[in-house]
């Protein structure tokens, strides 16, 4: 076993990420392992539908295309690769990788991990007719394959962080109860799993940096030490940035309370400490781990029915009245009506606008039904037929469409011992990976509503929250999380008092009637909110126009607040608090918009 830190890079954060990443990471500098995350809720449904058409498919084909070009380089440099691109058919992808290696003449030892696919038990899980049902496996099966000599390990559904944790287990010989070390690797894995989101992509404070620096962000690297601490970085000379802010943002992505549960360890997010130790180098230390819970999460997806949508442009005056007329007409025209009908009015219009686009809003009608006929062309044609008999200037944004299937996401939990976990070593032997022997019930996270009366003697300016607050948001099934952080202890004292649950509902009125939980992470100077049911039945349901909740955090940053002058770095904003676009927009928005 080695005591030398290992460098683990990432080449994919989703199915469809930058195709050139594998080549860039191999040529950009020294690396020991490369990981790729290809699976998400919507991806699983896509792969499930592929498998229904052809049982030999069900894996991410883009990985094979990238590997064909770069396998020889990876092997010549001794870089090992761990990916969950196996999706619903890791054995099938492993066979394809072996065939590719044979074809290009590059000897490659291949292992794969399976057992996660529980589709045969979907009815027992309460989801009859499911298209996919996959348990989140841990890292020890991957580690077994690596220890047995695998150059490439393909998996199905494992936790995203497991792709990073496994190489560290294999290199450092960690056992099941090395909780702090495992937790540290989970933190590193969580940071790099979404590729360039850790290196300046989707970063709240991107406008501080020249556009040239952000054109082509390098993918992240975690340098993990034997004690589980890590340094997040990227290849020297690549675009983007790695700062305490970019790492904080990713740590807040798609999490709930202070405990980040996994199949091998529960990471205490509230234990992590970040430090900028050099240019594009952020250290993560202090990780505390706890035993994993007695149950394993199983993500199921099913076809929920069919959906269709159509949009209309509404320009100029009387926007609300125009929308009301069209909605009433369309509801009257749809007989029989779809099971679920939703109208969304996006007030993108501005008063006295200098362009037609700036004077226009968009009304979108979305329909769902189990019967494809009720949301097919009968629906969209009924909408288009109103074009000459409704509000002035009526303009559909698309011709009639036939509609498409939509999916629903249903999570469930099963005892750990009920989930098979198998490591298929390169020599063909199969090893059953035992579940963790030591477990602990996961305490229910304690909601922290927050609060505190503002100091009325403190001088403030009315500015967008984003003047000093960064955010990162994302989907968690039908729910969404919004993490908000600041950059100083003084700002966090203000944030934790100001940004309460009630205040969030006030700033984001769409959350007013939804369950919202709030958690504080003081070491990260952050608060995290979980908004339940805001995404309906999950991303594949298409319930919101922002179905993955990526923009909710930016919506929150655009809302104005009375920010203490002492926390504002830009003197121009103190002298003229409406200099920012967001503040000016807020002051000119029509009432009720």
pLDDT for residue 590: 39
User: Does domain 306-407 match CATH 2.60.40.10?
Assistant: no
User: For the whole model, what pTM was predicted?
Assistant: 0.93
Count Cβ atoms below 10 Å from residue 332 Cβ, excluding itself: 11
Rounded CA separation 168/162 (Å): 10
pLDDT for residue 593: 38
CA dihedral 572, 578, 582, 584 (to 10 degrees): -150
Express each pLDDT in 498-520 by its tens digit: 999 999 999 999 999 999 999 99
Q: How many residues are there in the chain?
A: 593
pLDDT for residue 586: 43
pLDDT for residue 539: 80
pLDDT for residue 450: 81
Express each pLDDT in 12-50 by its tens digit: 999 999 999 999 999 999 999 999 999 988 899 999 999
Tokens representing 580? 């920012």
Rounded CA separation 133/112 (Å): 19
pLDDT for residue 500: 96
Give kind and range of the element (H or E) at residue 290: strand 288-290
Mapping DSSP onto H, E and C, the string for 526-548 reads EEEEEECCCCCCCHHHCCCCCCC
Answer yes or no: are the C-beta atoms of 256 and 44 closer than 8 Å.
Answer: no
Domain with CATH 3.30.70.380 in the chain: 306-407
Answer yes or no: are the C-beta atoms of 133 and 122 closer than 8 Å.
Answer: yes
Say whether 431 sits in a helix, a strand or coil: strand
Q: What is the pLDDT along the chain (593 residues), one digit of tens a residue?
A: 678 999 999 999 999 999 999 999 999 999 999 999 999 888 999 999 999 999 999 999 999 999 999 999 999 999 999 999 999 999 999 999 999 999 999 999 999 999 999 999 999 999 999 999 999 999 999 999 999 999 999 999 999 999 999 999 999 999 999 999 999 999 999 999 999 999 999 999 999 999 999 999 999 999 999 999 999 999 999 999 999 999 999 999 999 999 999 999 999 999 999 999 999 999 999 999 999 999 999 999 999 999 999 999 999 999 999 999 999 999 999 999 999 999 999 999 999 999 999 999 999 999 999 999 999 999 999 999 999 999 999 999 988 889 999 999 999 999 999 999 999 999 999 999 999 999 999 988 888 888 766 666 689 999 999 999 999 999 988 899 999 999 999 999 999 999 999 999 999 999 999 999 999 999 999 999 999 999 988 887 877 888 899 999 999 999 999 999 999 998 888 886 554 444 444 443 433 33
pLDDT for residue 453: 63
Answer yes or no: are the C-beta atoms of 141 and 423 closer than 8 Å.
Answer: yes
pLDDT for residue 585: 42
Rounded CA separation 147/2 (Å): 13
Sign of CA dihedral 486, 490, 492, 494: negative
Express each pLDDT in 152-201 by its tens digit: 999 999 999 999 999 999 999 999 999 999 999 999 999 999 999 999 99
CA-closest candidate to residue 36, choices 49, 19, 54: 19
pLDDT for residue 592: 37
pLDDT for residue 573: 87
Q: What does the DSSP assignment read for 141-207? A: HHHHHHHTT-SEEEESSB-TTHHHHHHHHHHH---TT-HHHHHHHHHHHHHHTTGGGGTTTT-TTGG
């Amino acid at each position: 076993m080695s005591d030398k830190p290992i460098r683990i890079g990432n080449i994919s954060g989703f199915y469809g990420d930058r195709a050139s990443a594998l080549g860039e990471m191999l040529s950009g500098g020294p690396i020991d392992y490369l990981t790729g995350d290809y699976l998400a809720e919507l991806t699983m449904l896509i792969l499930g539908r592929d498998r229904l058409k052809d049982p030999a498919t069900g894996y991410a084909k883009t990985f094979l295309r990238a590997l064909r070009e770069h396998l020889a380089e990876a092997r010549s440099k001794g870089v090992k690769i761990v990916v969950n691109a196996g999706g619903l058919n890791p054995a099938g992808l492993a066979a394809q990788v072996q065939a590719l290696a044979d074809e290009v003449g590059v000897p490659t030892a291949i292992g794969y991990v399976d057992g996660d696919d529980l589709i045969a038990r979907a009815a027992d899980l309460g989801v009859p007719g499911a298209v996919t049902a996959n348990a989140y496996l841990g890292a020890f099966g991957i580690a077994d394959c690596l220890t047995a000599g695998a150059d490439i390990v393909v998996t199905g559904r494992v936790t995203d962080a497991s792709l990073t944790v496994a190489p560290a287990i294999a290199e450092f010989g960690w056992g099941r109860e090395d909780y702090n070390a495992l937790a540290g690797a989970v933190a590193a894995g969580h940071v790099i799993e979404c590729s360039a989101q850790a290196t300046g992509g989707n970063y709240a404070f991107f406008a501080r940096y020249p556009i040239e620096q952000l054109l082509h962000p390098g993918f992240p690297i975690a340098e993990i030490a034997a004690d589980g601490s890590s340094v997040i970085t990227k290849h020297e000379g690549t675009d983007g940035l790695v700062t305490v802010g970019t790492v904080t943002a990713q740590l807040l992505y798609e999490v709930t309370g202070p405990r980040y549960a996994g199949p091998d360890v529960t990471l205490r997010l509230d234990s992590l400490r970040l430090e900028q130790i050099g240019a594009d180098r952020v250290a993560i230390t202090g990780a505390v781990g706890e035993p994993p819970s007695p149950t394993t999460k199983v993500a199921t997806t099913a076809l929920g029915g069919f959906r269709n949508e159509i949009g209309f442009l509404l320009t100029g005056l009387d926007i609300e009245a125009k929308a009301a007329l069209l909605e009433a007409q369309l509801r009257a025209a749809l007989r029989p009506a779809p099971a679920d009908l939703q109208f969304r009015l996006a007030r993108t219009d501005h008063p006295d606008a200098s362009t037609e686009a700036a004077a226009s809003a968009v009304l979108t009608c979305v329909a769902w039904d189990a019967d494809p006929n009720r949301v097919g062309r009968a629906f969209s044609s009924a909408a288009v037929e109103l074009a000459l008999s409704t509000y002035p200037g009526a303009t559909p944004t698309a011709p009639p469409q036939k509609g498409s299937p939509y999916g629903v996401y249903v999570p469930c939990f099963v005892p750990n011992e009920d989930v098979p976990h198998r490591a298929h070593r390169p020599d063909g032997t199969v090893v059953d990976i035992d579940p963790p022997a030591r477990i602990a019930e996961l305490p229910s996270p304690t909601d922290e509503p927050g609060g505190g009366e503002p100091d009325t003697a403190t001088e403030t300016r009315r500015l967008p929250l984003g003047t000093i607050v960064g955010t990162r948001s994302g989907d968690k099934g039908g729910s969404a999380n919004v993490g908000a952080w600041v950059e100083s202890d003084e700002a966090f004292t203000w944030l934790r008092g100001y940004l309460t649950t009630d205040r969030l509902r006030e700033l984001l009125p769409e959350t007013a009637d939804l369950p919202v939980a709030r958690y504080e992470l003081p070491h990260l100077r952050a608060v995290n909110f979980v908004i339940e049911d805001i995404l309906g039945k999950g991303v594949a349901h298409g319930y919101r126009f922002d179905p993955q909740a990526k923009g909710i955090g930016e919506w929150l940053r655009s809302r104005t607040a009375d920010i203490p002058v002492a926390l504002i770095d830009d003197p121009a904003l103190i002298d003229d608090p409406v200099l920012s676009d967001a503040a000016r927009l807020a002051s000119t928005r029509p009432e009720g918009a």
